[in-house]
Chain A
Amino acid sequence: NSEIFELKAELNSDKKEKKKEAVKKVIASMTVGKDVSALFPDVVNCMQTDNLELKKLVYLYLMNYAKSQPDMAIMAVNTFVKDCEDPNPLIRALAVRTMGCIRVDKITEYLCEPLRKCLKDEDPYVRKTAAVCVAKLHDINAQLVEDQGFLDTLKDLISDSNPMVVANAVAALSEIAESHPNSNLLDLNPQTINKLLTALNECTEWGQIFILDCLANYTPRDDRESQSICERVTPRLSHANSAVVLSAVKVLMKFMEMLPKDLDYYGTLLKKLAPPLVTLLSAEPELQYVALRNINLIVQRRPEILKHEMKVFFVKYNDPIYVKLEKLDIMIRLASQANIAQVLAELKEYATEVDVDFVRKAVRAIGRCAIKVEQSAERCVSTLLDLIQTKVNYVVQEAIVVIKDIFRKYPNKYESVIATLCENLDSLDEPEARAAMIWIVGEYAERIDNADELLESFLEGFHDESTQVQLQLLTGIVKLFLKKPTETQELVQQVLSLATQDSDNPDLRDRGYIYWRLLSTDPVAAKEVVLAEKPLISEETDLIEPTLLEELICHIGTLASVYHKPPSAFVEGSRGVQHKRLPGSAGSGESVDSPDTGSAAGVSEAPPAVIPSQGDLLGDLLNLDLTPPTTTGPPPPTSGMQMGAMDLLGGGLDSLVSLLYTVDSMAAGFGAPPAVMPTSFNAPVSGGLDDLFDLGGGVGMPMGSYSPPKTVWLPAMKAKGLEISGTFARRSGVIQMEMTLTNKAMSVMTDFAIQFNRNSFGLAPAGPLQVLTPLSPNQSIEVSLPLNTVGPVMKMEPLNNLQVAVKNNIDVFYFSCQYPISMLFVEDGKMERQVFLATWKDIPNDNESQFQIKDCHLNAASNKLQGSNIFTIAKRTVEGQDMLYQSIKLTNGIWVLAELRVQAGNPNYTVSLKCRAPEVSQSVFQSYEAVLKN
């Protein structure tokens, strides 16, 4: 059009002044979005000028249109090359900066030479601009940058004398390193660290961020180096730029791990960290949000830093909602006996605010306080009751959900409030609240006069309820039935049939069938199962898993820290990310706090973890000779109460069951061990399959329980010609005593029988010894004798010693043998991570024993161990050492916790065992050795 035409004429004018005015007009048109790309050749022609303003304008134009006019853009190359040698450093820098912005492949090659010169320019301003240009070029053509050796030049710039050059080199390298995670681009050594620390004091705020983030990747050699870096980084805490402050916090949080805790400086540093964090909270809400997400991590790792600063987390009513919710979370984390009164008063205040989400979270927070700070529980409960009295629907519902948890934590303490809760039954319309209320009614059915009516009222709309409510209702009514069998028979039949016949939800049906079967076959067992004493819920259920927390602490200030997810979740595509770990502290080996890190809290959604009560079971082992053995089978029906229940069920349920033939046949499977392997997923598979799975690379497929080779237990000489060799194995959860009986005498042997003496774990034959045909001379027979663990108990020396008597038509013979204790490791021996942590801490250190396993060469130790029911709960790697945290449960309920340390290339493993009954440790260790070496 005419405007373009006019401009074209002006651009080609001979008069300098006119040319300049024309370029200005072109730029003005460009910035307001008019397409002036048609003028490309004319504008580029103006580039060769001494007039700086004109040059800048042409550069602006070039950056904008080069991409769409790549062929034309080549015309500009010559000028760039020339400008990069201009005597004025500002022009050289401007040229190199603009060059990198021209994202045209064809051109980039021509720009390598000028860039190389600029990287070594005598003027720091040019070098610093060139450093960024390398990152730009890398973005366009990574291969070219590597081939040209620019990365090495960039690395050299880290040692530049000018702080701004250092900062930009670090920034460029950090950006490039993100696409080359393993390239060691930022290979830090004490010399470079020193350069960085010097540059830190003198460069711009942005440069300080880059340098601090880079420093955070370094691992100091010892605590002294660590301290000296901390000392030089601490002044950054007073910077006005909050990003500088948070990056400094990251470096300090990481490096202080290495400082001995008794060092004066350690305490000083802790004190210095609080004020800057508090200050971040007075900034704009967006900054506050990022700060709060990070403080949440810091508080979990080092609660002592902010323990006196509770008040700054109090919510202002006009804080944005995202700030309010974060503050609330931190308030709960900081809640302690010292400040709980204040916190509760605040939470109660929040519960009357307008924002529904916030109010709900505040009510929940009150419950969490009750569970966390025992002394405050009573106060919390009465606060919750006050809130229930407000009758605000969602407040009531949240309050009931948390009160359920409080009951779980403090049983038999606050049940007096149940009446108040029941009054609000009708107003509950959220599944979680309904389920919680039903749980409460079922759990305390014996104290609620009209429990049956209450539960019945829910049954009407059973199929409209959510699964959560249905399951809870089923369990609740079964509990009620077991407690008040006489009046509730009809109700239980109703719910069982609703759950099994009318529902297509598999979970609900299965649970229904299991209850049904239990009730009809063994009501006493049903009672033991359904009304079993509940384990207490643990204090904090929403802690970040310690290994993740460690990693996140190393990434304070990043997106990862905002989302509380590992950085690998953030990098686009498959670029790997190296996992960062906190360095171990000086003096104490990393094993000291390893159980912390090995365990893992479930993420917030996870159900509250449970702590097994071990008292009784322990008692059994410790008072071996004192008490008659307890059996888990049905005891003789002596008590009138139990008789009653049996009768009732016999009459009521059996008839129902017989009607449901299909159910019965299906449930029949529960009685005998199943034929194949479904009950326990680590049941051994046949040899061939086993090998196949092995080849599969050991992807978590267990390899079957270890069984030692047979040895001679009873030599023929000692037993009038009968030789017995044997071993033990565990198959599908059943202990088998496998024997070869050989007749080395001259006459036929018949009438075999076997008996065990009392032993440490109550092992006893589960049936008679099955030798059906008479054993002829020189004949051998293989027998498998299933064992149970409900026999009489006596502590043996060694613990796993078993005295056996075998009888035949000739005589009675005695022998003793030792079974590997791994036979007693049960299939459900995998502990919850959190429980593991709690238990590990709970067991006194005196009970810990450590063993060495020498010459072990294995790739998949944990798979192999899992085959023998030694379960790996967590694994972490510290300096090339794999730490496996494992749990084992014995048939008598004793838990053994283990930490297995494996160093790559070192055939010697270390295993530490912790158990409340330390006498089993030696045998357990032997099993470890046997399993690992076979």
Chain B
Amino acid sequence: MASVPRLCLLLSIIPTILILCADFACCNTGRKTGDGLDTDFSGFSVPLEHSFEVDDVSRFRMRGALQLRGGRETSVSLSQSQLSEEDRNTLKEVAAVDGLYKIRVPRVSLTDRQTERQMDGYLTAFVRACSLVESHLSDVITLHTDVSGYLIGVSIVTIPGACRGTEVEDEVDLEAFNTTLTIIPPTNAPQPETALFIERMDIEHEKRGKPQEQKSFFAKYWMYIVPLVLFLMMSGAQDQSGGGAANGGGR
């Protein structure tokens, strides 16, 4: 990675760097959604602007252009220019007074390009200028989208993130950004795992072996009941005959 900026130093525009594909969790039907989509989302670019001023009043300037590609697989790439001599000095001055380095992107929708509805306003984020300088302009910019593909937030961090007060001598280190760009859609929160739980319970039951089938009362004690009943029937028959006789007598 480190060699890439070196190679491209001659070019004024460095196309970098990252593309992260984030699958939306909804299932893929397997059928290609067609070229129509691709042409629709063949990419549009939005400006990425930054501001760093000694007096902390925001004056946003162009930093680069974000190439956004919406659709089933959202991706983003960034092309940005180098920092000019003047900018480098300003950035160092801002870092010296513990000022902020701010970036902003306009609010756009990644999917809803047809309507071409221009939403007003920007999404803004900041990082301490000193940490940007000390990290030699290695920043991580993250774009967050909501469920329907609107950009809702942007964040910038530098790696490393701390300000230790180390001087950055080499001017070359402050010329080009080493940007990692990601786009993060919302994650789907899990549902209660009922099916799996029941399955697991069933397996456990099976493992334990089939429990003794509950025998009915009769099945268990038939050897006692049958003789008893037989005995009762025998004696009952005697009684009945006696009773019948008595009845007959009464009539």
A binds B: no
Residues of B whose CB lies within 8 Å of any CB of A are none
Residues of A whose CB lies within 8 Å of any CB of B are none
